[in-house]
Amino acid sequence: MTEFEKINVRGVHFANVTPDEAETICTEMLGGDRAHTVFTPNAEIVQLCIEQNEYYDLYNGGDLVVPDGAGVVKAAKILGTPLKGKVAGVELGERMLKVCAERGDGVFFLGAKPGVAEEAARRMTEKYPGLRVGGTNDGYFKKSGEESDAVTRKINQSGAKLLFVCLGVPAQEKWISENKDKLTAARVCMCLGGSLDVYAGVAMRAPKFFVDHSLEWFYRLIKEPWRLGRMMKLPKFLLGTYREKLFRR
Ligand code: UDP
């Protein structure tokens, strides 16, 4: 597999890759002989790790960990170890759907509210002819025990090589880390948060202006003001990063 450099941003080790390189690595993983995990944490998640250290092992345990957010990229720059840039999970996921459509590999959508994964499958197969969605399951099941095992069996029976796990953070990373060894066919398991909602047209990505100006967080705050508490992690994260920089000197 293509080697890649890892950059430590406040304790989380991010792959220093462009979106193209991330796609290449994921494609190579598709041809591997085990289930690989792809995580896409943003600054909120790094701050979660800083506040609750037990999450470091979880996130650093991913086979490919890419920075899904301007906050992480900014922090890497502040610390003097810049990353090549942001790799949006929702975009990397869609790139991999295109790859699977071309290769003829099946995919499985796990997560979101009932009906959303099916709608995402309908829209994505329309957009990428040849794409085969081998199965879907909503994300509201018990994350351990028999209900969870039934979900892993369903994924195995589908024969899908690419699995999207969209159960929200950090539940999705926890669930896949605990269950990936039970997967017999899946080779790339991507934790993609709210991406199925986006593919299904249930949620909108921020308009280009917000994306280009690193203001996706602001757009999300306007649309979902109840996220304010969670979002306060971002200024905390950046302040802490400047503090770390000062102490390192
Ligand atoms: N979700 C789920 N099961 C749960 C909780 C959440 O499938 O038990 C889904 C939710 O419906 C949404 C996705 O997880 O589609 C991610 O939610 P969010 O937009 O909050 O993303 P996050 O920032 O948590 O990754």
| Cα distance between residue 76 and residue 83, in whole Å | 6
Ligand 1: residue whose CA is nearest its atom 5? 167
Q: What is the pLDDT of residue 231?
A: 84
Query: What is the position in ligand 1's atom list of the atom closest to the CA of 196?
Result: 15
Testing ligand 1's pocket by substitution, the residue of 143, 144, 151, 167 carrying the most ligand atoms inside 8 A of its CB is 167
Regions of the chain short of the pLDDT cut 50: none
β strands within the chain, DSSP E: 6-9, 12-15, 36-39, 64-65, 106-111, 132-137, 162-166, 188-191
188-191/162-166 β-pairing? parallel
pLDDT in tens, 27-78: 999 999 999 999 999 999 999 999 999 999 999 999 999 999 899 999 999 9
Give the three-class secondary structure for 189.
strand
Which residue has the least CA distance to atom 24 on ligand 1? 168
Which residues does ligand 1 sit against, CB inside 6 Å?
A: 111-113, 139-140, 166-169, 171, 193-194, 196-197
Strands 132-137 and 188-191: unpaired
pLDDT at res. 248: 77
Task: Please identify, by atom number, the ligand 1 atom nearest to the C-alpha of residue 193.
Answer: 25
| pLDDT (0 to 100) of residue 167 | 98
Residue nearest to atom 19 of ligand 1 (CA): 194
CA–centroid distance, 229 to ligand 1, in Å, is 16
pLDDT at 240: 97
| CA 176 to centroid of ligand 1, rounded, Å | 14
pLDDT for the residue numbered 9: 98
For 60-71, b/e burial (b = at least 16 CB within 10 A) is bebbbbbbbbbb
Q: Which two tokens stand for residue 208?
A: 């280009």
- Enter the DSSP assignment of 52: S
pLDDT at position 37 is 98
